[in-house]
Amino acid sequence: MDEISKKTRLEVLAAKWLEGSISQDEREEFNEWFHSNLETSVAIKETFASSREEHRLKILSRIHKEIRREHRPLIVRRLWLSAAAAVLLIMGGILCLHQMNLKKEQLLSERYLNAIKPGTNKAVLTLGDGRQVVLSQTGQQIFSQSGIKILTDKNGRLKYEIKPMGVIPSSSAFNTITTPKGGQFELVLPDGSRVWLNAMSSIRFPVNLAFAARRRVETSGEVYFEVSRKISTKHAATEGKEVPFHVISRGQSVEVLGTQFNINSYPEEEFVKTTLLEGKVSISASGQRVILIPGQQACVLPEKQSIGIREIDSEEVMAWKNGLFMFDGQDLQTILLQAARWYDVEIEFRDPDLKRQKFKGSISRFENIRQLLEVLESTGSVHFKAEGRRITAMK
């Protein structure tokens, strides 16, 4: 047997001895090698243990089993202890290498985390003719026709300006604003209502919204509204009129007359949640209708055709609009789902039980993702590893 084959054979025997699966014939072969090769070392798989202390305890446990099994004289026990010392030295060297690899992996993970930046103000406007405009500039005039002008102001907010005596826009023309992962956006609708879109959200509305007999928009994702009770356009045909405002999202309809409210209708979340901050709204879904007062949240479960109402902390609901991540007893799956949308990352759970862990805390949405994960890790109940834009949660 050549030296390489012999060394491989001895490594197999050493591993079997440590695992306790070595046969009598193999044991005698291993003993013979050890007694005649005290200076020779063999490699042991790093998966045998995850730390130096675990290596030591496992080997000592194996030695005690050998001593109890054989009941040999003291000199034999000393030989086993010598063998253990040699194996400990071997394992120590491998553990150092393992720790170096872990350190390298940790540094690489930190580098990935440092590269993941928070979201910014960005969106895409889809015009009625299908043209798309990336909304990333301030003071940008996008469209001007038939008495209506679409532009971004000095703060980057999209606005619709209607000439006082301009032609009423066609009822068939719709615009859609869509935010990507890692994006948020603010706009003023043609009727003067203000809208904020969270990441991965959209709003679709008619360009003639201010002139319609019923103001109606469609949303997905998470959207906050400040709806004008009276239409504000400076156009003689509509200025000052009170017209109902309807929001359609995932099978529910919200009707308002001047109010502030938030709708969360992400398709991956179980409930469609409408939270009222000011005014009054009515919510219709699956043949049911409820009315909210400020501080209440309606939860619609589309699959079961039900609507529930609960009292809610509006500060937590509005944290995203106010530039914060805020969680008061939220589970880790919900928190990381928000982070995934905002930081444009993918989330993976190594242990499904982690999804149900509850957390309390808050942090700015404009910190790097590393700071958010460090806040969660400070509890000691979860740890994270990053590879590219994939974040893995583990115990």
Residues 305 and 344 in one domain: no
Of 277, 160, 300, the C-alpha closest to 226 is 277
Looking at the structure, tell me whether residues 130 and 253 fall in a common domain: yes
Average pLDDT on 218-230 reads 91
Predicted pLDDT of residue 211: 79
Q: Count up the domains in the chain and report the number.
A: 3
Q: Provide the phi-psi class of 256: left if phi over 0, else alpha when psi is between -120 and 50, else beta.
A: beta
- Comparing 23 with 273, the larger pLDDT belongs to 273
pLDDT range class, residue 173, cuts 50, 70, 90: confident
Shared domain check, 137 and 98: no
- Among 79, 98, 115, give the residue marking a domain's end: 115
Residue 385 maps to which CATH number? 3.55.50.30
Report the alpha-carbon distance of residue 244 to residue 58 in Å, rounded. 73
- Across 255-263, average pLDDT: 89
User: Same domain, yes or no, for 58 and 192?
Assistant: no
Last residue of a domain, one of 115, 136, 155: 115
Region of poorest pLDDT, from 105-114, 124-133, 212-221, 262-271: 105-114
**Least confident stretch, 159-173, 191-205, 291-305, 358-372:** 159-173
Kindly tell me if the per-residue pLDDT of 75 is higher than 50: no
Higher-scoring residue by pLDDT: 65, 271: 271
Per-residue pLDDT for 22 more than 70?
yes
CB-based burial, 346-356: b 16+ in 10 Å, e otherwise? ebebeeeebee
User: Cα–chain-centroid distance for residue 391?
Assistant: 8
Please give the residue range of the domain that contains residue 346.
Answer: 324-394
Whether 307 and 192 map to the same domain: the answer is yes
Q: Which residue in this structure is represented by tokens 């834009």?
A: 389
**Tokens 């949240």 belong to residue:** 297
Question: Are residues 17 and 136 both part of a single domain?
Answer: no
pLDDT score of 345 more than 90: yes
341 and 211 belong to one structural domain: no
At which of 287, 317, 347 does a domain end?
A: 317
Instruction: Give me the pLDDT at residue 42, please.
Output: 54
What's the confidence (pLDDT) of residue 198?
98
293 and 356 co-located in one domain: no
Query: pTM for the whole thing?
Result: 0.70
- The helix/strand/coil state of 48 is helix
Task: With beta carbons less than 8 A apart as the criterion, state whether 203 and 176 touch.
Answer: yes
The DSSP bridge pattern shows strands 281-285 and 272-278 to be unpaired
Which residue in the block uniquely carries the two structure tokens 């905002």? 342
CATH classification at residue 196: 2.60.120.1440
Cα–Cα dist 263/327, whole Å: 18
Query: Which positions ≥6 away from 197 have C-beta within 8 Å?
Result: 123, 177, 179, 184, 185, 186, 187, 203, 221, 222, 223
Alpha-carbon distances of 40 from 32, 36, 242, 312, rounded to whole Å:
13, 9, 91, 69
Place of tokens 């529910």: 252
Q: Does residue 186 have a pLDDT over 90?
A: yes
DSSP 8-state symbol, 242: B
Pick the range with the lowest mean pLDDT from 28-37, 83-92, 197-206, 253-262: 83-92
Same domain, 310 and 332: no
183/231 same-domain check: yes
Do 207 and 247 fall within a single domain?
A: yes
Say yes or no: 92 and 236 in one domain.
no
More confident of the two residues 282 and 149: 282
Of residues 46 and 371, more confidence is placed in 371
